[in-house]
Chain A
Amino acid sequence: MSISQFKYSVIPEEAEALRADVRCFLKESLENYPAVKKAHSWMGFDAQFSRQLGQKGWLGMALPKQYGGADASPFARYVIIEELLAAGAPVSAHWIADRQSAPLILRFGTPAQKEKYLPPICRGESYFCIGMSEPNSGSDLASIKTNAQRVDAGWLLNGQKVWTTNAQHSHYMIALVRTGSQAESGRHGGMSQFIIDLTLPGITVRPIADLAGGEHFNEVFFDNVRLDADALIGEEGKGWDQVTAELAFERSGPERFLSSIALMHTALALIGPRPDALQARDIGRITARLLTLRNMSLAVTQQLVDGNNPAWAASCVKDLGNVFEQELPETLQLLLEEQAQVNGGSDHAQVLAYLTQMAPSFSLRGGTREILRGIIARGLGLR
């Protein structure tokens, strides 16, 4: 670790050049899209919108051209993603496939797996979910029990995953499961990753309603599911290392501090051009924090471009970003006498009600605050 990983970094011109096109497209597509829907952002599911993005060439951008990608730099992806999130576009359908599953398949997949899975991801037609957590394994991921045993020319899968975002809409799950005993292989050994076709017999997906009434979490049960040999992705027994790399990849992007940004827009609309002293101060401070987070996040992106491993720096951005996006509804509800309202009410009232209830999840998904701070402490040489 070193604080010097956080260098001033600028989006290169060729990536910046994409911004105007994306903005124009979003302005048209989201013209009549309600504010509260915009607040759903990366929870908003719209397969048609995802296919449109695929047609524009804005999915799987960093993938090689032979698989339908654009060989674009991480900064090009950055511009697209931050514009989508800032506009509150419904990105949920392709979200995990684009930012997590595709890079994983590209890195660890066989040529046949890449050929099969990557092109439909780039077209916005193939959606993925991630099977990591289990009923007694969340932050303690090494304690997972779901297992796959070798049978004939394939595997037999049994167990249960939980908190699986979008499983009910996804075609595939990339799951971390046990393929060897923990006793023999050590705490982080004996685990492997599989690409599971969710239409296979023996799989049951059950949505879990969240506290705001939405259903994006799921329980997924595997009862003697037969997997082909090529369902294994990467190396048998190396699942832990693969997952660690995958998580590092998803911890630094703009999605880690823009989850509440819709509320900033509705608040500014209500406050108007002449804020009172308190409003001016808090809006200014929010703006400063947002810009600094973005600059930190760009520094991590530059590390990716340079071929470095930014896992430590990414954890810093995610933790600080989660604090910011959780505080935003708190700060803004103090700035305006506008009561949060679930049905009816102004745009701001509805967005406030939604984000106030969703905010606790921001620091849960992708690694809890305590786990991230543990990773940062390790980078400081403290453990």
Chain B
Amino acid sequence: MRELFESTIERLLSDISTADYIRSAEGGMWSADLWRALEENGFQLAGAPEAIGGAEAGWEDLFVIVRAAGRYAAPVPLVEMLLGNWLLEASGIGARSGVLTIAAQGTLRWEGERLSGDLYHVPWGRHAEWVVTVVGDQVVLLDMACADGVVPGSNIAGEPRDNLLFKAAHCAASAKLPSAMPASVLQIGGAMLRSAQMAGALTALLELTSGYAAERKQFGKPIASFQAIQQQLAVLAEQTAAANVAAETAFSESGDQLASFSIAVAKISTADAASIGAGIGHSVHGAIGFTQEYSLHLLTRRLWAWRSEFGSSTFWSTQLGKYVCAAGEQAFWPMITHSKQHQLPVAEIGSV
């Protein structure tokens, strides 16, 4: 399933999600044709049950879809929908078709049967039909028709990150969080998504930058033949490799429960790789990489944005560090060798 997913989505995105296409989507345009093409190939429901047209794929297989979405900077909430539908299935509400996104942060509160408050930084919120969030110990599905307002915002890469306002709204469905699932599940899952997207974007960045260095000539030869350039590209390759391994580990070790410990490791490793990698990409490209016209920034601006979404490297390092210190010196090495057996308690962002 994984190979089929990967080859199909790579082909689809490389055809449609071109540099010009992404540029035109920045600023908030809805990429209806891309979304439709993804729907026709069943990607939004890849993790959902067969009965509603899904492929029942697990996180291990969904990894290649999320990584490809990052590699081609797909300007749609595909990855958010995979996570949202996974949570709807797990809680018994059931996956939805349409345009579905997630909200990991907000002030939404129950007022009897109704919900009031704001949801923050909702990816593609203005275009969504459905929003999945967690309120207290309840998974909640909201119909965007019930929203009382949308305050548009964008991340560094011009991807919509909107605040949504609700006043005494009826939810479309709600159900108790599955047992042992933390209230921060969307925060944890979102960090996992962004880690794989960054691994994909870094892979594209490495290809673009080494390709450019091999072509661009100065002093009569390609700049790739200069040791100073080679050494920088070697570091970019190392960081890209680290990001790919870290993100894949987080997905492979997640199942009914998200592997929060490995996800923390992945978000830290990919966010740090994103910072180093984006710097090298620009350094090697010189002035051309700083232009709108050249496509480098389509990757680097996303890396800069994604590294801090669903918790920065500092947020996740702090969560992990507290856990490691509390476990103590004797537990450290056994924890490293059996990391997948650990669940990391994750605080809400802002309460670090």
Chain A residues near B (Cβ < 8 Å): 1, 3, 5-8, 19, 82, 86-87, 261, 264-266, 268-269, 271-275, 277, 279-285, 287-296, 299, 313, 316, 319-320, 370, 372-374, 376-377, 379-383
Are A268 and B324 in contact, with the CB atoms below 8 A?
Answer: yes
C-alpha gap A220/B330 in the complex (Å) = 42
C-alpha gap A380/B319 in the complex (Å) = 36
Are A296 and B242 in contact, with the CB atoms below 8 A?
Answer: yes
Q: Which residue of A lies closest to B325 (CB)?
A: A275
Instruction: Report B-chain residues with C-beta under 8 Å of the C-beta of A291.
Output: 246, 262, 265, 336, 339
Chain B contact residue count (CB 8 A cutoff): 53
Instruction: Report A-chain residues with C-beta under 8 Å of the C-beta of B233.
Output: 376-377, 380, 382
Q: Which residue of A lies closest to B232 (CB)?
A: A373
Are A273 and B241 in contact, with the CB atoms below 8 A?
Answer: no
- Describe A's contact surface by its main secondary structure: helix
Q: Which residue of B lies closest to A290 (CB)?
A: B336
Instruction: Report B-chain residues with C-beta under 8 Å of the C-beta of A265.
Output: 329, 332-333
Q: Which of A6, A275, A287, A296 contacts B265 (CB 8 A)?
A: A287
Given A3-B241, A8-B252, A377-B337 contact (CB < 8 Å): no
Instruction: Report A-chain residues with C-beta under 8 Å of the C-beta of B329.
Output: 265-266, 268-269
Asked whether B237 is an interface residue with its Cβ less than 8 Å from the other chain, the reply is: yes
Are A86 and B333 in contact, with the CB atoms below 8 A?
Answer: yes
Q: Which of B214, B240, B248 contacts A8 (CB 8 A)?
A: B248
> Can you give 7 contacting A-B residue pairs, CB < 8 Å?
A274-B325, A284-B320, A284-B324, A288-B316, A291-B336, A319-B234, A379-B237
Asked whether B295 is an interface residue with its Cβ less than 8 Å from the other chain, the reply is: no
C-alpha gap A289/B210 in the complex (Å) = 25
Are B237 and A383 in contact, with the CB atoms below 8 A?
Answer: no
Are B320 and A288 in contact, with the CB atoms below 8 A?
Answer: yes
C-alpha gap A376/B213 in the complex (Å) = 15
C-alpha gap A275/B321 in the complex (Å) = 8
C-alpha gap A222/B336 in the complex (Å) = 46
C-alpha gap A3/B238 in the complex (Å) = 9
Q: Which residue of B lies closest to A294 (CB)?
A: B336
C-alpha gap A299/B268 in the complex (Å) = 19
Min Cβ gap A277→B in Å is 7
Q: Which residue of A lies closest to B202 (CB)?
A: A3
B322-352 contacts to A, CB under 8 A, are 322-326, 328-329, 332-333, 336-337, 339, 352
Are B241 and A296 in contact, with the CB atoms below 8 A?
Answer: yes
